[in-house]
A = this chain, B = another copy of it.
Amino acid sequence: MKTPLIDNLQYCNWSREIFEQMRAGGVDAVHVTIVYHESFREMVLQLEAWNRWFETCGDLILRGTTAADVERAMAEGKTAIFFGFQNPSPIEDDIGLIEICHQLGVRFMQLTYNNQSLLATGCYEDDDTGLTRFGKQVVAEMNRVGMVVDMSHSADRSTLEAIDQSTRPIAITHANPAWWHKALRNKSDEVLQALTQAGGMLGFSVYPHHLAGGPDCTLASFCDMVAEAARRYGAQSLGIGTDLCQNQPDSVVEWMRVGRWSKVIDYGEGSASNAGFPPMPHWFRDNRDFGNIRAGLITAGLSESEVAGIMGGNWYRFYSENFGPDA
C-alpha cells in the first residue's frame, strides 16, 4: 500500500469545493474539528451536518472511524473524514458520553481549549492545576474505548500529567515547538520529549500564529524546524495538523475564543488590531499545497521514508493502534 497523506487537524467552512481540493491535493484522510464550545446536543447537530455531507458529497469523502477506512478511501479515490472535539464540552459532566461519542465516530478530544475545563487546565490560564478528579476518570475511559487524548490547547503540567496518566499514547494534533516560535500555544521541549517518549504524536501546525514570522514564515524555516524536531524526537512521532480554517468568517474565530464563557472579547493569539483569521503562508493556502511541504522536507534533509511517515504514514499507524478498544 502507498503511504497515505493525512492532515490531522482542519476546521474549514466545509463545501464541495474544499472536498474537491482535498481530492486534487491527494489527501487521503483529514481529522476535522466538529465542535469548540458546543453542548452534547449541539455537537449532534454537527454530526447531522456531516452525515448530509457524506450523502451529498459521497463521491469525494467518506466517514472514517478506523485506519481501515483510510485504506478504503485510498481504494475508492476519496478522503476519509475523522471527527474530533477541541473542547470536552460535549461530554458535559457525564463520563458515559465518552463511549456514546466514540460510537458516533469521535476519535480525538482535547481535554481543554485554552481555559480551565472540568478535566484540566488550558494554556491561557495563569495557574495550571493539572488533571482534575473527573479528568483522570475521563482519560481512563478514553483509553478504554479508543478515543485519543489531545492536549494541543492545554497547559504544560496538565499535558505532562495526561501523558503520565494515559495508558495509551496521546497526541498534540496541531502545535509547533516553542524553541522555534515562542507562543502560548506552542509546546516546550520538555512536553514534546515526554509526549514522544510515551509513543505520542505531534502534528505540525501551519496556522500563522504558530509560525516563526507568522504569515511571512518561509517554507524552509518551517521544514528546517521539522527536521530539527525529527532529530530531537524521532521522525516516527511527527505528522501534520495544519489547523487549516479555510473560508471561515471572522465570527468563527470569535466563537473559538469566547464561546459563551465571556461577554467581552478575548483576542487569544490575535490582538485588537489583528482580530480575525490571519492570512495563510503563500506555500500553504489549502489542501492542494501539501506537495510544497513534502518537497520542502526533502530539501531540509529528511529521507524519503521519514517524509512519507511525517506526511501521513505515522498518523496512519497511530490511528490503527489507538481508535479501537484497549486490548
Chain A residues close to B by CB (< 8 Å):
40-41, 44-45, 47-49, 51-52, 94, 96-97, 99-100, 103-105
Contact = CB atoms under 8 A, between A and B. Distances in A.
A264 to B, nearest CB: 31
A70 to B, nearest CB: 19
| 9 pairs of A and B residues whose beta carbons are closest in the complex | A48-B96, A51-B99, A44-B100, A103-B104, A41-B41, A47-B100, A48-B100, A51-B96, A104-B104
A44 B97 contact: yes
A137 to B, nearest CB: 14
A contact face: mostly helix, strand, loop, or mixed: helix
Contact of A97 (B40, B48, B94, B96): B48
Given A40-B41, A41-B40, A41-B41, A48 B99 contact: yes
How many copies the complex holds: the figure is 2
B104 A100 contact: yes
9 contacts: A40-B41, A44-B97, A47-B103, A48-B94, A48-B96, A48-B97, A52-B96, A100-B104, A103-B104
Contacts of A40: 41, 44
B41 A100 contact: no
A52 to B, nearest CB: 7
Contacts of A94: 48
Nearest to A52: B96
A18 B154 CA distance: 45
A321 to B, nearest CB: 22
A105 B104 contact: no
Nearest to A65: B103
Contact of A100 (B51, B96, B97, B99): B51
A45 B51 CA distance: 22
Contacts of A99: 48, 51
Contacts of A100: 44, 47-48, 51, 104
